[in-house]
Structure 1
Amino acid sequence: MRANKNQGRTGLNSPALFAKTAVDERLYLGTIEKSLLVLGTFCANPRPMTLAEVSQASGLNKSATQRVLYTLRALRYLNQSETTRQYSLSAKALDIGNAYLRSNPIVEATFPYLLEANRRSQETVNLTELDGSDIIFISRVPSRNVMSSYITIGTRLPALATAPGRAILANLEPATINELLRTITTNPQKTLKHLHRVRQKGFAIANQEAVPGDISTAAPVFGYGKNVVAAVNIAASTANWTPERVEAKLSPIVVEIARQMSNVVSQHWRR
């Protein structure tokens, strides 16, 4: 499963890693795995890095790291400073992420509902998907009233520490959630009880657990066959809201918007 992303003594983060399942070694290309591991290292450490730093964070030896860095630079996915010799992601690296957003039908189909939730709440509204044990923000309408936090499209946060993550996890198939919880929590049974309450209520609330100063309420979005595919959340500032007010005023909005999204998404979103 995912590697430890805690910072070591050098302040470097390890990239996100996931277990390979049902891999046919005759077809599997380890060179591509190494290339994506290096790219993932830059995602986990969004700053210029030296060859030695990339090697240490990725776990690859320096020889393999040098070859991968050279190739990615030649393909224009990386830049290298002529003065510091440090490597950094290039603008071309945006192409894959932007292509995903453009090709994901849920983004286009749900955006009018994000706008409606933003109009009704006057707060920031996000759409997120589950990726491994994290959520990723794939669409967003910021509040006009409060300076938005550092959250941007593409931001990744631990699912269990967020309202949208809990809203999605609470509606996964039992076998899937049981397997996932074994890898991300030391008390799966306690977490399951909490997620069961989230599922019963139809929404989740998180108070400054992943983002300081942020109270979030979220509800699941279902696709074809009633499979959960995303979550919509409204994020508000603790300067203006309490958890009680969020539950009373914003949770009903997010539940209704999620239901409307599900009606649209379920028509064409299959997994």
Structure 2
Amino acid sequence: MTRNTTRAEPGKRNLSEADRAGALFVQSVEKAMSVLAAFHHADGPLTLSDIAARSGIDRSAAQRMVHTLRALNYIERDVDGHGFRPGLRILDHTLDYLRLNPVVREAMPVLQELRSEARERIDLSLFDDLRVIYAIRLQTKRQTFNASIVGHSVPVFCSAGGWAILSHLRESHAREILNRSDRRPFTPHTITEVEDTMAQVALTRENGFALATSQILSSEIAMGFPILDRTGAPVAAIHIAGSLSEWKPEAFSARMAPLGLQAARTLSKY
């Protein structure tokens, strides 16, 4: 059974009861954020009852949170009056994150040059436990709405960027991530078994880059290149993606590997 690729679920960000019991933990803030998170998988406006059910709080609490967030412009009424949707003010925080993140800030000119040389889609993803989140997306000739929007995410276990990141983790840590992952396939070719994925991770470590075919999309070939922080820990990955209708894996790898490796080395020095 395949599934969509819009948003992979986070892992370690899920709170425990010990987190909530801390003296400094503000539960009203958690409720407000759960109301905003209710829109993560929405296909359109949500009613108040929808928001309450998706956020796991009662309708009265949801009503108060929605009212407050509307007053602050973080939630707005849908133009047709059928429910609520995220407000414009949220984009202010998106901008703050992107402009202050050191990897993203340094990456744009490097990735623009990479796209001009590769002439294929270039993405920058950030490591978030079980998933990687796209922070920069540079399109070429195959423009689609979903593939051009930042904030989408894919699982680490079956993405080129994920394999690149796993290749720079301790083996025990990589296995722990895979064991916690929801490894349902995206395509008939998605690698889901832990040992098979670890074999890809070992190959990625040997080559310095990952090569993935038909893992997230059946027609896609993608390469992943790890970006490391000053301690050598993986924090992000560069993706170069093309179409299997236009590229053979060997030719794609030979053409893109030197370009991607150079870009990743440049950004690993931030």
The normalised TM-score by structure 1 is 0.83
Who is 1:150 aligned against?
146
Distance 2:203 2:261 in 1: 15
Number of equivalences? 253
Who is 2:234 aligned against?
228
The alpha carbon displacement at 1:138 in A equals 1.1
- CA 1:82 to 1:142, structure 2 compared with 1: closer, same or farther past 3 Å? closer
The alpha carbon displacement at 1:244 in A equals 2.6
In structure 2, runs of 5+ residues without a counterpart are 184-191
The alpha carbon displacement at 1:187 in A equals 4.4
Question: Higher relative contact order by CA 8 Å / sep ≥ 6: 1 or 2?
Answer: 2
The alpha carbon displacement at 1:160 in A equals 1.8
Q: Is the 8 A contact 1:15 1:37 kept in 2?
A: no
Determine helix, strand or coil for the equivalent of 1:108.
helix
AA matched with 2:263: I
Distance 1:247 1:53 in 2: 46
- CA 1:82 to 1:167, structure 2 compared with 1: closer, same or farther past 3 Å? closer
Q: Is the 8 A contact 2:10 2:128 kept in 1?
A: no
Of 173, 179, 183, which aligns to 1:182?
Answer: 179
Of 155, 162, 170, which aligns to 2:167?
Answer: 170
The alpha carbon displacement at 1:82 in A equals 7.1
Q: Is the 8 A contact 2:8 2:155 kept in 1?
A: no
Please list the CA deviations of residues 156-178 of structure 1 after superposition, one character each: whole Å capped at 9, or x if unmatched: 12222211121112212344323
- CA 1:169 to 1:205, structure 2 compared with 1: closer, same or farther past 3 Å? same
Who is 1:120 aligned against?
117
Q: Is the 8 A contact 2:10 2:129 kept in 1?
A: no
1:195 pairs with 2:201: yes
Distance 1:162 1:117 in 2: 20
Determine helix, strand or coil for the equivalent of 1:250.
helix
The percentage of counterpart residues that share the same residue type is 28
Please list the CA deviations of residues 91-114 of structure 1 after superposition, one character each: whole Å capped at 9, or x if unmatched: 111111111001112122122221
Please list the CA deviations of residues 41-81 of structure 1 after superposition, one character each: whole Å capped at 9, or x if unmatched: 21222521111222222232222222221221121100014
Of 205, 209, 219, which aligns to 2:215?
Answer: 209
- CA 1:187 to 1:147, structure 2 compared with 1: closer, same or farther past 3 Å? closer
The normalised TM-score by structure 2 is 0.83
Please list the CA deviations of residues 185-220 of structure 1 after superposition, one character each: whole Å capped at 9, or x if unmatched: 584344333312221221112223223532211110
Q: Is the 8 A contact 2:132 2:153 kept in 1?
A: yes
Determine helix, strand or coil for the equivalent of 1:257.
helix
Distance 1:42 1:15 in 2: 13
Alignment of 1:69-88 (within 5 A): 69-81=66-78, 84-88=81-85
Distance 2:110 2:167 in 1: 22
Who is 2:186 aligned against?
none
1:249 pairs with 2:255: yes
Distance 1:30 1:211 in 2: 39
Distance 2:93 2:218 in 1: 30
- CA 1:120 to 1:196, structure 2 compared with 1: closer, same or farther past 3 Å? same
Determine helix, strand or coil for the equivalent of 1:146.
coil
Q: Is the 8 A contact 2:121 2:240 kept in 1?
A: yes
Who is 2:130 aligned against?
133
- CA 1:172 to 1:15, structure 2 compared with 1: closer, same or farther past 3 Å? closer
Determine helix, strand or coil for the equivalent of 1:231.
strand
AA matched with 1:245: A
- CA 1:176 to 1:31, structure 2 compared with 1: closer, same or farther past 3 Å? farther
In structure 1, runs of 5+ residues without a counterpart are 1-5, 8-12, 266-271
The alpha carbon displacement at 1:26 in A equals 1.0
Distance 1:99 1:156 in 2: 19
The alpha carbon displacement at 1:225 in A equals 1.6
Of 71, 80, 96, which aligns to 1:99?
Answer: 96
Of 28, 31, 43, which aligns to 1:31?
Answer: 28
